[in-house]
A and B are shown apart, each in its own frame.
Chain A
């Protein structure tokens, strides 16, 4: 298992105000951000990413918009800095919200440029994005996945075509001379990742051989992972753990108490993420008809809940670390504790090759974050890496 460190570069000084107003996103005015304070925080967070390279962790970056939960507005911009400050870490974008991007060829150019800059260390996530990203991008939520797949196909073709230019006159995107310079070191394309929470996404990712990642709920992850493996088998190949990724908060300490304390602060990432004004939580078209029927049936005041392993509902906005540990949202304690929890999780999931570790959740300070990263990289990751060493990580039919 590979371990990836991840942070959203939160602007937590504004959280109290945003929580009071009921939305940390979209409608929360940016007068609540002090740009000078943001300057200090951004530089601090980038230092923390750089530290990952020294302790043997890989790195994941994502982006959100119009929010106090995440100041990363552009994965290529953040990774451009990180690529220069690191030497060996794999660099994962999870990801580029390509259904919200007007210009997929620009995305391909940026990804190729990063792959060249980093010496072929890029892992390229192409994601649907969260529902509340629709409004900042003003992307049409209707037929969103049709646009996603057209962008996906165009990006992979742009990255892998070496005898261009080629023509693209599709439903959503139009170019007559696609011929990106530079082209990526990793051919035909850097490894492709997707994200999802459903059985359908598991199957679709398997059909392309992409890595599929999910987050925050073992109960939801397992059916998607199973669907991936089953679909791969139908198509005549065996999906190893390296095709599957899971994101969770990880708090490690010299003592169990210290690990739990860190996890408690990191878990604010999960508690703050869903706090967004109602109309932006479910733009029509973003979720399936079936999911919308269920929501209409439940009525306007029902919140989406996940359940723990005993079937008890957990509200992400207010859950304790203990509750989060019951849903596999948090792994926490001493290095031994964390390795044991993840080993157990891995067995329950049937083998997961990538742990995407949320290691910074706003109020965890710089010293704590650094120590968490160090323990994760030096005490936890080496023992998890041994877990799937026998699997060589076959690259399957991606991007052909």
Chain B
């Protein structure tokens, strides 16, 4: 089911699936892609609530929305508006950054946090690049870095309808509103991660060359009590590239009290 919800004055397109325990899914910078299988697979176990970020899909990008802080507060407001309790908060890639910014502020409505290949922190030196510059490489090189098998993510834009192309173009611009400078991170976030007081799973595509599993280990050290699990044969979008394995990891984590883990 798709519906429009107005939260804090922002019109959000929200995709919903299933009727189990609530799970708020925050999508990657490439967009929600609701026709892909992971939402249905999650929906078999959870009540999935998946908004399109402002500027993506059919969600509006109001003038006043311009930072990841804004998104974090917006989704905390969404969680309150839907009266979510003991929900699982899942954020993929860019959405992982947003989810972490929510969790350092207020995790009351969430019982579990799952960050999937998140961007959002800077751990290396000034001349080191923790997060690949996705905007300085060709589309082909981006696909090579982001996918274990780029063919799985290939989209022939010449065959898509114009409304979908417009959504892609809007989403690409919106991502930069939030993540151009500093590039895909908040320099202060790593100093706030100790505040996360909800069990946290870091889930990583083994072949991710946008943010590598080594970068994921820094996240693990910074988020108290978190664990890191790696999904083989997946890149930056394990939910997209290995949807069954992704859902298995999320479901196992949501059902246990602490990190027990199926670490690969």
A284 and B172 in contact, given A279-B138, A299-B158 (Cβ under 8 angstroms): yes
A138-B181, A296-B169, A298-B158 in contact; A284/B136 too (CB < 8 A)?
Answer: no
Tell whether, in the assembled complex, residue B168 and residue A296 are in contact, meaning their CB atoms are under 8 Å apart. Answer: yes
Given known contacts A278-B138, A299-B157, is B162 in contact with A140 (CB within 8 Å)? no
A338-377: which have CB < 8 Å to B? none
Q: What does DSSP make chain B's interface, helix, strand, loop or mixed?
A: helix
Q: A135-B136, A279-B135 are in contact. Are A284 and B173 (CB under 8 A)?
A: yes
Contact of A296 among B160, B176, B180 (CB under 8 A): B160
A140 with B177: CB separation less than 8 A: yes
Smallest distance from the beta carbon of B193 to chain A beta carbons, Å? Answer: 26
Report B72 CB to chain A, min CB distance, Å.
19
Q: Is B174 an interface residue (CB 8 A)?
A: yes
Say whether chain A's binding surface is mostly helix, strand, loop, or mixed. Answer: loop
Query: From residue 278 to 323 of chain A, which have CB atoms closer than 8 A to chain B?
Result: 278-280, 283-285, 289, 292-293, 296-300
In Å, the complex CA distance between A300 and B136 comes to 16
Q: Tell me, in angstroms, the Cα distance from A285 to B178 when the chains sit together.
A: 12
Closest to A298 in B: B158
A95 at the interface (CB under 8 A from B): no
Contacts of A233 in B (CB 8 A): none
Q: Given A135-B136, A278-B138, A289-B170, is A296 in contact with B157 using a C-beta cutoff of 8 Å?
A: yes
Cα separation A277 to B137 with both chains bound (whole Å) = 9
A209 located at the interface, meaning its Cβ lies under 8 Å from any Cβ of chain B in the complex: no
Given A140-B180, A141-B176, A142-B180, do A293 and B138 touch, yes or no (CB 8 Å)? no
Q: How many residues of B contact A (CB 8 A)?
A: 24
Picked from A135, A285, A299, the residue with its CB within 8 Å of the CB of B173 is A285
Decide if A395 is an interface residue (CB 8 Å cutoff). Answer: no
The answer to whether the Cβ of B175 comes within 8 Å of any Cβ in the partner chain is: yes
A143 at interface, CB cutoff 8 A: yes
In which size bucket is the chain A interface?
A: 20 to 34
Contact partners of B162 in chain A: CB under 8 A: 293, 297
A-B contact count (CB 8 A): 67
CA distance A289 to B174 in the complex (A): 11
A71 to chain B, nearest CB (A): 23
**Which residues of B are found within 8 Å of A283, using beta-carbon distances?**
135, 176
In the complex, chain A residues whose CB is within 8 Å of the CB of B170:
289
Smallest CB gap from A286: residue in B = B173
Chain A neighbourhood of B135, CB < 8 A: 135, 279, 283-284
CA of A130 to CA of B214, assembled, Å: 37
A323 to B128 CA separation, bound complex (whole angstroms) = 47
Cβ–Cβ < 8 Å partners of A27 in chain B: 136
**Residues B165 and A297 in contact, CB atoms below 8 Å apart:** yes
Q: A125-149: which residues lie under 8 A (CB-CB) from chain B? A: 135, 138, 140-143
Contacts A140-B177, A285-B176 known; A279 to B137 CB distance under 8 Å? yes
Instruction: Give the CA-CA distance A285 to B157 in the complex, in Å.
Output: 18
Residues of chain B within 8 A (CB-CB) of A297 are 157-158, 162, 165
CA A389 – CA B255 in complex, angstroms? 83
Is the CB–CB distance between B157 and A142 below 8 Å? no
Report yes or no: A142 in contact with B174, Cβ–Cβ below 8 A.
yes
**B135-152: which residues lie under 8 A (CB-CB) from chain A?**
135-139
The residue of chain A having its C-beta at the shortest distance from the C-beta of B157 within the complex is: A296
Chain B residues within an 8 Å CB radius of A292: 165-166, 169, 172
Considering the chains assembled together, what is the distance between the CA atoms of A297 and B155 in angstroms? Answer: 12
List the 7 closest pairs (A to B, CB-CB), nearest first.
A292-B169, A284-B172, A142-B176, A285-B173, A296-B157, A140-B180, A142-B177
Q: List 17 interface pairs A-B (beta carbons < 8 Å), by A numbering.
A: A140-B180, A142-B176, A142-B177, A142-B180, A143-B66, A279-B139, A280-B136, A284-B172, A285-B173, A289-B166, A293-B162, A293-B169, A296-B160, A296-B165, A298-B158, A299-B157, A299-B158
With A293-B166, A296-B165, A300-B139 given, name 7 new contacts (CB 8 A): A138-B180, A142-B173, A142-B180, A284-B175, A285-B176, A289-B170, A298-B158
